[in-house]
């Protein structure tokens, strides 16, 4: 996995740190000091293998494990063998990641054997002994035996080389296999376990962890030379890059896992962002690997490996902020970093190289994975606890809310109750006010009625008093006239035929007639009788009109003749109108009766006709010119028969403003104290009760016309 590669980055940091590690197995002797490498400037390919071996440009190494660095150039190394003691033994290069690796056994300047052991070698002449590339030292008798290796790789060429017998190599290989199998077993168990958890729990972090494990295990597999077991040689393109790919993906999965596990976005946002940056860089490494820039890709991956160091402060900060699972995380990573240290230190010879130290990395990785798994469980618990706490908090809040709502409700109820009481009080006050208003209105209507009755009384009194006056006076005068005439009649009665001095008596009678002015008296009698007749007729007419006008079946609807009502109203109004205007009536004959309240309709006509007459009142107007024209007619409109009454005057007229208000109660154009302003509003009320339509045409200065239509 990526950790293996991170060694490169971490090496500089941790080198020199002492670590005590108890070895349980015999030390492996690396022969790094016997390894010589060739100067880069040579062109060995052109020179032939033998001449390369004989070149003078070999440099000896001093490290136990030589490091040829990271370069895509071809490297050459040689090892001078002791042909006597090392015959039949094997040279083992404990690096399975070298892409091209060819070993030549040169005996006395002659190549006696060559072996293709590179990771991408298409054909392997003999199977290598063990997991790592091994090269058998031939049993040839030579003065000088040299092993020459040609190496080329896109990965770092760290070369732990040893020379050992086949038994030992196979034994170690088996030991490694067993250990690795155990490790891989752990990996598989963890993988399956977490996958299972993911599918059963559905928590995303299990899937992330599973991917993380997969990549870690895969990387270890590849690094430890078990990639060949995956038959990867069949895919040379992938084979060249598989280490890089595992490096990139283990880095990516690590970043994702760490970010989510430590909840960095919440606890350490700056680190979260930094890891996002590394995520992008890893993708760059991936692209580089795809395009064959393997060395650059590896460098970038190494650069990214430093990101693991941030996990330590990151986990510490997270832990300090009270996130318990970070403890496991810190422990797991510390152990892993220690394992990395052990791995590095064994390469540098500070601690012995044996199976345990060799396996420090997989071991540390396994422990790490287990601990992380625990950490994950703890995290899940923590989340559960948190969600339980959150639920409790929510419950508490909702209970609190409920209580508050309940309290609020009580307050509201109280308030509503108070408001209701207030409203009821207000209602009763308003009802009282309304009653007062209604009674005031009734009083006003009543006073309006009384006012019109007063007006009427005056008019009617005048109308009645006139005929009564001349009738009674005429009667007395008639009596006197008749007395005069009786005198003459008696004188005539006294005359008898054959009377004496009849002539003088006739003369006296003549004188009497002349004295009494009988001719005049007779004319006068005629006139007086006419007056009495007329007066009696008028009186009875007025009385009849009054009866019609003030019919006190008032509020009952009965059939009545509109013309009759208008005529009676005019009789009652005659004296009031006398000094205001003349009235012209054009009453249609044979009008059908109307269902109405005659008493109230008379009030309507009286009001409108009086208004019409009053609109023409003025000092500069002649009564003869003031005409109120009353017309009645039968009309048809909108499929309905109507009786139409028009009252037209040539008075002052009304402005639009006045016209719009005339039916409003208390609106009046008369001076204060002369009108109640209720007349037309009462008229409107009465007409509404009759379903009558009212139309008012008026022009200022020209006059007004009221048109009332009664439906039939």
Residues lying near another protein in the complex (CB under 8 A) are found at: 457-459, 461-470, 472-474, 476-478, 480-481, 524, 527-528, 530-531, 534-535, 575, 578-579, 622-623
CB of 480 to another protein, least distance (A): 7
The SS3 assignment for 169 reads helix
In the bound state with another protein, the residue whose beta carbon lies nearer, of 147 and 616, is: 616
d(CA 385, CA 392): 10
In the bound state with another protein, the residue whose beta carbon lies nearer, of 101 and 532, is: 532
In the bound state with another protein, the residue whose beta carbon lies nearer, of 71 and 473, is: 473
Alpha carbon distances (Å) from 693 to 349, 458, 687, 704: 122, 32, 7, 17
Token digits for 251?
């880095």
The SS3 assignment for 697 reads strand
In the bound state with another protein, the residue whose beta carbon lies nearer, of 471 and 680, is: 471
CB of 621 to another protein, least distance (A): 11
Q: Dihedral sign, CA of 304, 309, 315, 318?
A: negative
In the bound state with another protein, the residue whose beta carbon lies nearer, of 489 and 537, is: 537
Concatenating the DSSP letter of every residue in 180-200 gives HHHHHHHHHHHHHHHHHHHHH
The SS3 assignment for 651 reads coil
In the bound state with another protein, the residue whose beta carbon lies nearer, of 139 and 585, is: 585
In the bound state with another protein, the residue whose beta carbon lies nearer, of 263 and 538, is: 538
Look at the block and give the residue holding tokens 């059963």: 200
CB of 608 to another protein, least distance (A): 22
CB of 468 to another protein, least distance (A): 5
Q: Provide the 10 A C-beta neighbour count for residue 43.
A: 8
Token digits for 75?
């490297």
Alpha carbon distances (Å) from 517 to 480, 485, 494, 505: 13, 10, 21, 18
CB of 623 to another protein, least distance (A): 5
Picking from 8, 223, 208, 194, the residue whose alpha carbon sits closest to that of residue 131 is 223
CB-based contacts of 437: which residues, under 8 Å, 6+ apart?
none
Q: Show the DSSP H helices in 517-593 as ranges.
A: 518-549, 562-578
Q: Which helix (H) or strand (E) holds 152?
A: strand 145-152
Q: Using an 8 Å Cβ cutoff, are 258 and 326 in contact? A: no
d(CA 377, CA 370): 11
d(CA 358, CA 110): 36
CB of 478 to another protein, least distance (A): 8
CB of 647 to another protein, least distance (A): 20
CB of 619 to another protein, least distance (A): 11
In the bound state with another protein, the residue whose beta carbon lies nearer, of 154 and 535, is: 535
Token digits for 56?
């003078």
In the bound state with another protein, the residue whose beta carbon lies nearer, of 255 and 580, is: 580
CB of 629 to another protein, least distance (A): 18
Distance of CA 439 to the CA centre of its chain: 55
Q: Exposed e or buried b for every residue in 684-706, given b needs 16+ CB within 10 A? A: bebbeebebebeeebeeeebbbb
In the bound state with another protein, the residue whose beta carbon lies nearer, of 167 and 479, is: 479
Angle at the Cα of 188 from the Cα atoms of 184 and 193, rounded to 5 degrees: 150
In the bound state with another protein, the residue whose beta carbon lies nearer, of 273 and 462, is: 462
d(CA 239, CA 216): 18
Q: Using an 8 Å Cβ cutoff, are 334 and 342 in contact? A: no
Q: Using an 8 Å Cβ cutoff, are 615 and 609 in contact? A: no
Q: Using an 8 Å Cβ cutoff, are 197 and 386 in contact? A: no
In the bound state with another protein, the residue whose beta carbon lies nearer, of 464 and 509, is: 464
CB of 448 to another protein, least distance (A): 20
CB of 424 to another protein, least distance (A): 51
């Amino acid at each position: 996995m990526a950790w293996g590669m991170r060694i490169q980055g971490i090496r500089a940091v941790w080198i020199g740190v002492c670590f005590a590690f108890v070895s349980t197995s015999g030390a492996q002797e690396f022969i790094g000091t016997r390894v010589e490498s060739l100067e880069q400037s040579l062109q060995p390919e052109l020179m032939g293998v033998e001449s390369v071996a004989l070149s003078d440009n070999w440099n000896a190494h001093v490290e136990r494990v030589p490091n040829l660095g990271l370069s895509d150039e071809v490297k050459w190394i040689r090892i001078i063998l002791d042909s006597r003691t090392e015959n039949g033994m094997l040279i083992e290069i404990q690096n399975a990641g070298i892409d091209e690796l060819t070993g030549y056994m040169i005996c006395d300047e002659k190549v006696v054997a060559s072996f293709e052991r590179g990771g991408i070698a298409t054909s392997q002449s003999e199977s290598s002994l063990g997991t790592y590339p091994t090269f058998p030292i031939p049993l040839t008798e030579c003065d000088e035996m040299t092993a020459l290796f040609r190496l080329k790789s896109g990965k770092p060429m760290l070369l732990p080389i040893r020379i050992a017998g086949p038994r030992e190599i196979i034994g170690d290989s088996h030991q490694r296999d067993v250990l690795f199998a155990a490790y891989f077993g752990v990996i598989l168990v963890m993988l399956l376990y977490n996958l299972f958890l993911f599918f059963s729990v559905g928590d995303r972090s299990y899937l992330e962890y599973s991917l993380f494990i997969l990549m870690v295990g895969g990387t270890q597999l590849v690094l430890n030379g078990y990639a060949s077991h995956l038959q990867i040689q069949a895919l040379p393109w992938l084979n060249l890059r598989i280490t890089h790919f595992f490096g990139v993906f283990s880095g990516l999965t690590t970043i994702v896992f760490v970010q989510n596990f430590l909840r960095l976005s919440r606890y350490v946002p700056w680190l979260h962002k930094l890891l996002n940056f590394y995520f992008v860089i890893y993708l760059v490494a991936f692209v580089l690997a795809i395009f064959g820039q393997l060395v650059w890709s590896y460098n970038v991956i190494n650069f990214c490996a430093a990101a693991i160091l941030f996990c330590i402060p990151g986990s510490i900060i997270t832990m300090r902020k009270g996130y318990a699972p970070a403890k496991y995380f810190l422990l797991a990573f510390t152990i892993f970093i220690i394992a990395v240290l052990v791995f590095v230190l064994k390469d540098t010879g500070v601690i012995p190289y044996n199976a345990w130290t060799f396996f420090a990395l997989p071991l540390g990785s396994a422990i790490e994975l287990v601990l992380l798994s625990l950490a994950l469980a703890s995290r899940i618990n923590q989340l559960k606890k948190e969600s339980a706490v959150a639920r409790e908090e929510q419950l508490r809040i909702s209970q609190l809310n409920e209580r508050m709502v309940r309290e609020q409700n009580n307050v509201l109820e109280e308030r509503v109750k108070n408001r209701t009481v207030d409203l009821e009080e207000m209602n009763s006050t308003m009802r009282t006010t309304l009653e007062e208003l209604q009674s005031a209105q009734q009083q006003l209507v009543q006073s309006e009625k009384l006012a019109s009755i007063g007006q009427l009384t005056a008019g009617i009194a005048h109308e009645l008093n006139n005929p009564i006056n001349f009738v009674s006076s005429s009667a007395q005068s008639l009596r006197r006239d008749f007395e005069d005439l009786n005198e003459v009649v008696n004188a005539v009665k006294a005359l008898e035929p054959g009377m004496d001095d009849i002539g003088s008596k006739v003369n006296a009678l003549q004188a009497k007639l002349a004295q009494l002015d009988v001719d005049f008296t007779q004319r006068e009698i005629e006139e007086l009788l006419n007056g009495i007749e007329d007066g009696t007729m008028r009186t009875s007419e007025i009385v009849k009109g009054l009866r019609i006008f003030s019919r006190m079946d008032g509020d009952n609807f009965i059939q009545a003749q509109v013309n009759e009502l208008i005529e009676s109203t005019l009789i009652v109004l005659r004296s009031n109108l006398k000094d205001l205007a003349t009235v012209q009536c054009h009453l249609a004959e044979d009008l059908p009766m109307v269902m109405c309240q005659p008493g109230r309709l008379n009030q309507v006509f009286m009001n409108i006709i009086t208004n019409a007459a009053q609109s023409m009142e003025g000092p500069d107007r002649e009564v003869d010119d003031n005409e109120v024209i009353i017309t009645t007619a039968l009309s048809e409109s909108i499929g309905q028969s109507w009786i139409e009454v028009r009252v037209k005057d040539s008075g002052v007229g009304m402005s639009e403003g006045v016209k719009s208000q005339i039916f409003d109660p208390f609106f009046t154009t008369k001076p204060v104290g002369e009108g109640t302003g209720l007349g037309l509003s009462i008229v409107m009320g009465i007409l509404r009760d009759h379903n009558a339509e009212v139309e008012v045409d008026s022009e200022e200065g020209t006059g007004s016309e009221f048109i009332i239509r009664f439906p039939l």
